Amino acid sequence: MPHRQKVLLLAPLGRDAAVASGMLERIGVASEAYPDLASLQRAVDHNSLFIIITEEALRAGSLQPLAGKLAAQPSWSDLPVIVLTQHGGGAERNPGAVRLVETLGNVTFVERPFHPTTFLSISRSALKARQRQFEARARMVELHESAENLRMALLAGRLGSWDLDLPSVIFTASAPCTAIFGRSRLAWDDLLDCIVPEDRDSVAAALRHPAPQAENLYIAFCIAWPDRSLRWVELRARVIRDEGGRAVRLVGVATDVTDRRIAEHRLRRLNEELEKRVVARTRELKQAHASVLAEIEQREQAQKQLRQAQKNEMIGQLTGGVAHDFNNLLMAVLGNLELLRKHAPDDARTQRLLDGAFQGARRGAALTQRLLAFARRQDLHLQSSSLLDLIRGMRDLIARSVGPGIDVRLDLPATLPPALVDGNQIELALLNLVINSRDAMPDGGTITIAADEPPDAAAGLASGRYVRLIVSDTGTGMDEQTLARATEPFFSTKELGKGTGLGLSMIQGLATQLNGTLRLLSTVGKGTRAELWLPASAADEQRPALPAPSMQDGAGVGRLTILVVDDDTLIASSTHHMLEDLGHEVIEAYSGDEALTVVRQNPEIDFVLTDFAMPLMNGVELARRVRSIRPDLPILLATGYAELPRDAFNDLPRLGKPYQQSELSREIAKAVRAPLA
């Protein structure tokens, strides 16, 4: 027992106090004696165990202060008072005792002289009673503390407590709860009044009729504050049921969740926004990726085209060189054959052999022409020509070439600007295209030959006016790979011996050399369309065709002394023989320098026939220098090769290689008669 808990004694006379104190000490209870009522009254506090007071001491002073103090005790406290009376002091015999009980409350009377056992027994009961009071005090403190903790917890959680008695529909709310609803009071009707109309009935029903078996209840709804601001509130409650399981009461808390709701809403919006951005960004990335891929593809395509062009250029150069040499050789062969025919015995067998040799050499010459065309090295005779006339003029030949199973249609405009082309070569190109179409239609079909003036130049062409020659067919068409390779030299899908694979490459070479282009469009199973784009001739480029010579043959030029200049001795000698055979005198020279010397030393020379392509000094340069010596001397330029510079001497009369004796004779005659350029 703590030291401060003690019994308060007031027994001023004799040994009463000492005796009582001694007896109490025996049962382990501390006590303190006071001299008078006033000092005892001052000592009374929460730790006082009980009071022992003698009757006479009570009478010695005013009881009022002590009575007042006892009356003001806290609810748990009822301090026991033991009054030691005189003989016969029992309450039943002592009217003063009744008054004392009323004044001091919890009073027990013990009559003197008392037996120690009696005294101790009464003291023990008083002690026990007081200890029960102390326990009650402790419980009350605990209760108070937990109630206070709960209150603090609710405050901290911003929760307002409430309860609803279901049978009577009495709603009770704590002050914090009332505040959440923005009201000064919150009875059931006030609560309903707060709730926005659309939620009101459902909330009332949920509160008044909790689901059977439900232990807990949760509802969230929207309320309007008196200032009309809207807020979100959540109610959580425990459902209390009677023995029959009927819900009788809800005890719960309310929370204002407006901020949380707003935050949730914002978060949701933010997420949606983020998702949208991710989608948009992904789309952008995809697009960027696609365009990068497209660029790569384009670049690869361009590189492929460049490689193809370089390859073609190389093959062109190679082919051109070979074809040029071949041309010269064939020339010599043809020239010599021609002479041989004249002088050989006139029997059938010899003539047949000669014919075979001629045919072979001519086919070789035709092939070299195609090679030169592909290599863009053929000697073109540019003239302003009407494509319409050209096409119409070829109609019969075309019809014969394709045969009866194929319908040839012309789709031509009424007028078309003339094209600056070499008519013969264009005819050849048209024939090649038509034959390709024929070969693509083994079971027949339609070939349409059209011409027009497209509004714009095709990609890759210089700006300007163009005319277009179009050959379309309803044949097999080409797959992508074939189409890509169709213009490659020697590419052919035709069986061995049927196609050289030079047709389209030649046409493309020709088109390029004419500053135009060839375009091919094709669909497998549908057909092919070949477009030959050619520059329209501008007025100042139009060259009138040379006036036709009155005589088509070489007769009547008389006997001439002709200087033949060629770096190739084989050709020089073959030409020499041809000319001699025609009755002319011939001097050979094998270079420009040599030729000039000959011209200077031989004033009897009437005519110069020179090759163009010679090392050191070409035929045009030679012609220029010959003219400075003999301005009146006619000069004929032999060429199988398109490398003539475009200057004044370009107008020199020309003779295409390989030439035959008749052509040679005719061109010499023309050159002799033509006025000098």
Ligand X SMILES: Nc1ncnc2c1ncn2[C@@H]1O[C@H](COP(=O)(O)OP(=O)(O)OP(=O)(O)O)[C@@H](O)[C@H]1O
Which one of Mg ion, ligand X, none is in contact with 383 (Cβ closer than 5 to 8 A by kind)? none
- Please state the closest distance from residue 442 (CB atom) to ligand X, in A: 11
Nearer to ligand X, 477 or 535 (CB): 477
- Please state the closest distance from residue 482 (CB atom) to ligand X, in A: 5
Backbone region of residue 160 per phi and psi (left: phi > 0; alpha: psi in -120 to 50; beta: other values)? beta
* Rounded Cα distance, 641 and 301, in Å: 33
Contact between 101 and 126 (Cβ < 8 Å):
no
Contact pick of 328, 425, 436, 665 for Mg ion (by CB under 5 A): 436
**E strand or H helix at 256:** strand 247-256
- Please state the closest distance from residue 504 (CB atom) to Mg ion, in A: 6
Exposure b/e, 457-483, CB count within 10 A at least 16 = b: beeeeeeeebbbbbbbbbbbbbeeeeb
Please give the structure tokens belonging to residue 430: 């048209």
* Rounded Cα distance, 52 and 58, in Å: 11
Contact residues for 637 (Cβ-Cβ < 8 A; gap 6+): 610, 612, 619, 620, 623, 644, 652, 653, 654, 655
Of 469, 456, 467, nearest to 537 (Cα)?
467
Nearer to ligand X, 139 or 409 (CB): 409
* Rounded Cα distance, 252 and 379, in Å: 109
- Please state the closest distance from residue 314 (CB atom) to ligand X, in A: 18
Which one of ligand X, Mg ion, none is in contact with 505 (Cβ closer than 5 to 8 A by kind)? ligand X
Contact pick of 80, 176, 320, 503 for Mg ion (by CB under 5 A): 503
From 2-10, 59-67, 398-406, 500-508, give the range in contact with Mg ion by CB under 5 A: 500-508
From 202-210, 246-254, 255-263, 495-503, give the range in contact with Mg ion by CB under 5 A: 495-503
- Please state the closest distance from residue 359 (CB atom) to ligand X, in A: 18
Which one of Mg ion, ligand X, none is in contact with 578 (Cβ closer than 5 to 8 A by kind)? none
Q: Whats the size of the chain, residue-wise?
A: 677
Q: Which residue is closest to ligand X by CB?
A: 503
Which one of ligand X, Mg ion, none is in contact with 472 (Cβ closer than 5 to 8 A by kind)? none
Nearer to Mg ion, 489 or 503 (CB): 503
Residues found near ligand X in the complex (CB under 6 A) = 432, 436-437, 440, 473, 475-478, 482, 486, 491-494, 499-505, 528
Contact residues for 206 (Cβ-Cβ < 8 A; gap 6+): 217, 219
- Please state the closest distance from residue 364 (CB atom) to ligand X, in A: 15
Question: Quick check: 487 binds Mg ion (CB under 5 A)?
Answer: no
Dihedral angle over CA of 36, 41, 47, 51, nearest 10? 60
Which one of Mg ion, ligand X, none is in contact with 446 (Cβ closer than 5 to 8 A by kind)? none
| Neighbouring C-beta atoms of residue 19, cutoff 10 Å | 13
Nearer to ligand X, 522 or 575 (CB): 522
- Please state the closest distance from residue 410 (CB atom) to ligand X, in A: 17
Which one of ligand X, Mg ion, none is in contact with 54 (Cβ closer than 5 to 8 A by kind)? none
* Rounded Cα distance, 497 and 157, in Å: 101
Nearer to Mg ion, 503 or 634 (CB): 503
- Please state the closest distance from residue 441 (CB atom) to ligand X, in A: 8
Contact between 534 and 514 (Cβ < 8 Å):
yes
- Please state the closest distance from residue 532 (CB atom) to ligand X, in A: 13
Give the per-residue SS3 of 422-467: CHHHHHHHHHHHHHHHHHCCCCCEEEEEEEECCCCCCCCCCCCCEE
Which one of Mg ion, ligand X, none is in contact with 494 (Cβ closer than 5 to 8 A by kind)? ligand X
Nearer to ligand X, 448 or 493 (CB): 493
Please give the structure tokens belonging to residue 139: 């419980």
Exposure b/e, 130-147, CB count within 10 A at least 16 = b: beebeeeeeeeeeeeeee
Which one of Mg ion, ligand X, none is in contact with 334 (Cβ closer than 5 to 8 A by kind)? none
* Rounded Cα distance, 9 and 387, in Å: 150
Nearer to Mg ion, 176 or 503 (CB): 503
Give me the residues that bind Mg ion (CB under 5 A), please: 436, 503
